[in-house]
Amino acid sequence: MSVLNHPQDVRLGLGTWLSIGSSVVAELVSQFPFDWLLYDLEHGSSPESTLPDQLRAGANMNTRAIVRVPALQPATIARVLDWGADGIMLPHVSSAEQAAQCVSAMYYAPKGNRGYSTTVRAYGYGLKRPEDLDSVQPFCIAQIEDVEGVRNASEIAAVEGVHVLFVGPGDLNLALSHQRGDNIINFETAVRQVADAAKQHGKQAGILLRNPSDLAPMKQLGYSCIAIDSDLAILRKGYADIISNAAQTET
């Protein structure tokens, strides 16, 4: 829980996805030196009400807690930050206006319109109030998941308060597959455009990878905020390996 830090002084490196919604898993993963953990409220398996316990279990001064909210809902964004998240990932950002609205929901006046309470978990339930509210600068990660977002990547990256352009490969691949007309871009081109846009404005480029072997190529393209796999996928693979190995011993 470190929302008083200045994100511009901290760059997010290696992370991983937490989709199950288990506090036990969050606590376990926090024992490893990840730079950040993504708590997923968009496609995750548990309701929003379980998030505070997950954040408590995963609390680690060296690991940032980022929450992917379901949509651009200021009340949800403020509540998640009050619970102690270090930042917000907003899915399906396709315009600079959307990114600016997210930033506004994350910041107190005069930079934004987030409501202020001294008694929330982020401030020790009233025991550690920030001396200067301008020092409260949570991470804002704009997720690029459609064609329009790729085409507007430079404008999105230019928004003050946005720290990372993050490619969602599943949705982006799906969106790209439905393009029509002559001005079609492929996934490789889209990934390069997002990385170039982030670099142009001094922001980070991020992406979720399923295969660790893709880490080096993505870093070469300029991606530095990288999440590898999810708790659910890691468990699934582990169980599949058990069944596969057991089947081989029976042949």
Lowest mean pLDDT among 76-80, 133-137, 239-243, 244-248: 133-137
Q: Is the pLDDT of residue 4 over 70?
A: no
- In this predicted model, what pLDDT tens digit does every residue of 18-41 receive, in sequence order? 999 999 999 999 999 999 999 999
Summarize pLDDT for 182-204 with one digit per residue, the tens.
Answer: 889 999 999 999 999 999 999 99
What is the mean predicted confidence (pLDDT) over 230-249?
Answer: 95
Q: Which of 231, 92, 70, 74 has the alpha carbon at shortest distance from 166?
A: 92
Dist. CA 31–CA 243, nearest whole Å: 28
Fold adopted by 7-249 = TIM Barrel (3.20.20)
- Is residue 138 within 8 Å of 181, Cβ to Cβ? no
The SS3 of residue 202 is coil
For the entire predicted model, the pTM comes to 0.94
Task: Count the Cβ atoms, other than its own, within 10 Å of residue 12.
Answer: 24
Where in the chain are the domains? 7-249
**pLDDT score recorded for residue 72:** 98
| DSSP assignment of 97-109 | HHHHHHHHHHS-T
Within a 10 A sphere around the Cβ of 159, how many other Cβ atoms?
A: 21
Residue 43 among the catalytic residues: yes
Q: Which of 6, 43, 92, 178 is catalytic?
A: 43
pLDDT in tens, 42-90: 999 999 999 999 999 999 989 999 999 999 999 999 999 999 999 999 9
CA distance 49 to 209: 28
The answer to whether the CB of 78 falls within 8 A of the CB of 48 is no
Compute CA 76 distance to the chain's CA centroid, rounded to the nearest angstrom: 15
pLDDT beyond 60 at 5? no
